[in-house]
Structure 1
């Protein structure tokens, strides 16, 4: 069965249209459904559905189902997804090797990072991307903003060739990685929250534990800074946390660089900053065995941008 499915994918008449259909399918699987893939693909749900139907027609297979239980791959769909990753990976390696033979980097590079990087004072990521483009102008760079657990899984399954993310689980031992910076996380509440007018001296651990807390989906529901917070909501993104805080119903941690403007505007307030502070160490990570030259080049550009960023 596996070989039969792989044969159908690898022997599909491959033009630009067919490759586009396979890339849409891979993105839908990686995002977890049609709706979730809209932003990543820049397509409406109806257009994605049409592309998926055309791919199923060309393969003669039903790849997925949608219903009340959500997006589900069929057994054939899982096999086609694996074969698709194999095919797209082979194409990228071919383009990269041809470029190297010609003395110029070509092909594509998929880079994943978490959100809220643009305000980070310890990293000049736009400068790193500019330097990378100047050095490898013919490499097609794809950037995806995703949660750390998605970046982690993407490194393992090959959908990302390089990522910038906080350390998560055991991903780092299996990949080349280097620390880039430590992001400072502090506790905040918003205007309208009961703690907003309270002085820091009154913010005991016991009081903080009674408040509804907005946590991270990729963090264990555990003690943070010595406090057993009341996890009432969770989100993988900083923007999601900010939205929850601005509702006035929750307290939660944000990177200080991301929250600074809202504090300046009087919309957010730091809570007990001398106690409620921790750091996330961010790493650049990419495959340990035979990484692409483009991934190594982007990793160097990011590391250099960190050193050159003014304090």
Structure 2
């Protein structure tokens, strides 16, 4: 016999184990972008996930997501709750790391955020740093998240990330920033663009300013290298910029190491590389006041790998 339940009022007071379990189901469902995809990672049936989500919505008195034939997507309230959940779990992970430090054993989870297009950077050798970290802390779970610089900056401030690799940003004094490398950004166009075969000597600021430009969503729309570009498309990631350039319709900036292979294949071309370029200063950022041993270990590994020959 099925017993009906009366709706629960909005959740108040301290979080219980039940709340944390429901929030983890919610977080993983969002990460997997839906109930079906989350079944394997959660070890639950779709029906069970649906019950958990409904229970969480009742406890919070908020509609978190829409699910059905139109797909899975968060409501505005769901986006706010999800952001708060990530901050909450980041705080829990920092606590677990601190406990591991006291116990003298590196266990728990380390959340590491970075921008995209890092794997091809020979100056950084991030893969070698991660390998070194894994060998020294085999019991740690390393969570790597690829995000835009503004997301990483906010995540460091809120505690969502314990350590981040990103372009230099202004930070509060409680964070420590270590300069790692300078990344050269060149202006490129793709095969099929009107400027692809244009000699560099003919490329003037006025001519470049007339081209459709693929900009970065986190950069101000101000002149770059003296050119006031037409911002006709924006993206937060290098892969997004690359797709726009390969369309043959836009010009835009990419890291030289990220574009190198396609330049060699003659599907990308650097435009006026002698003067159309700038450098981004990259830093490792983590807590100055209360860094965990795991965060210190990964930071040291990244610094040592970037200094190696």
Give ranges in structure 1 of 5+ residues lacking alignment: 29-33
For residues 67-216 of structure 1, the aligned pairs below 5 Å read 71-74=74-77, 78=80, 82=84, 85-86=87-88, 88-89=89-90, 91-168=92-169, 170-171=170-171, 173-216=173-216
CA distance in 2, matches of 1:221, 1:192: 26
Structure-2 change in CA distance of 1:273 and 1:27 (3 Å): farther
User: Aligned to 1:282, what secondary structure does the other structure show?
Assistant: strand
Who is 2:52 aligned against? 54
DSSP 3-state at the match of 1:231: strand
Taking structure 1 as the reference length, what is the TM-score of the superposition? 0.82
Verify: 1:291 aligned to 2:269, yes or no: no
Aligned length: 289
SS at structure 2 position matched to 1:179: strand
SS of residue in 2 equivalent to 1:206: helix
Q: Contact 2:212–2:230 (CA<8 Å) still a contact in 1? A: yes
Query: For residue 7 of structure 1, what is the aligned residue in structure 2?
Result: 13
Shift of the 42–185 alpha-carbon distance from structure 1 to 2, 3 Å rule, reads: farther
Asked whether the equivalents of residues 182 and 279 of structure 2 are also in contact (C-alpha less than 8 Å), the reply is yes
Q: How far does residue 143 in structure 1 lie from its aligned partner after superposition?
A: 0.2
Structure 2 residue 272 is matched with structure 1 residue 272: yes
Residue 219 (structure 1) aligns with = 219
- Decide whether aligned partners of structure 1 residues 72 and 156 sit closer, same or farther in structure 2, where only a CA change above 3 A counts: farther
Structure 1's 46 and 62: CA in aligned 2 closer, same or farther, altered over 3 A? farther
| Offset of residue 217 of structure 1 | 0.4
Q: Contact 1:22–1:84 (CA<8 Å) still a contact in 2?
A: no
Cα pair 1:179 1:281 within 8 Å, conserved? yes
After TM superposition, give the deviation of residue 121 of structure 1 in Å. 1.3
Deviations 1:20-72 (A, max 9, x none): x42353477xxxxx5xx437x9973899997475144056234444579x743
In the alignment, which residue of structure 1 is the partner of 2:26?
25
Please give the root-mean-square deviation of Cα atoms over the aligned residues, in Å.
3.0
Q: Displacement of 1:92 after TM fit? A: 2.5
Deviations 1:178-225 (A, max 9, x none): 110000000111110000111001100000000000010000111000
Distance 2:213 2:82 in 1: 41
In structure 2, distance between residues paired with 1:157 and 1:135 = 27
Aligned-pair CA distance for 1:153: 1.3
Q: Answer whether contact 1:26 1:81 (CA < 8 A) is retained.
A: no
Change (3 A) 1:90 1:254: closer
* TM-score, normalised relative to structure 2: 0.83
**3-state secondary structure, aligned to 1:130:** helix
Partner SS state of residue 262, structure 1: helix
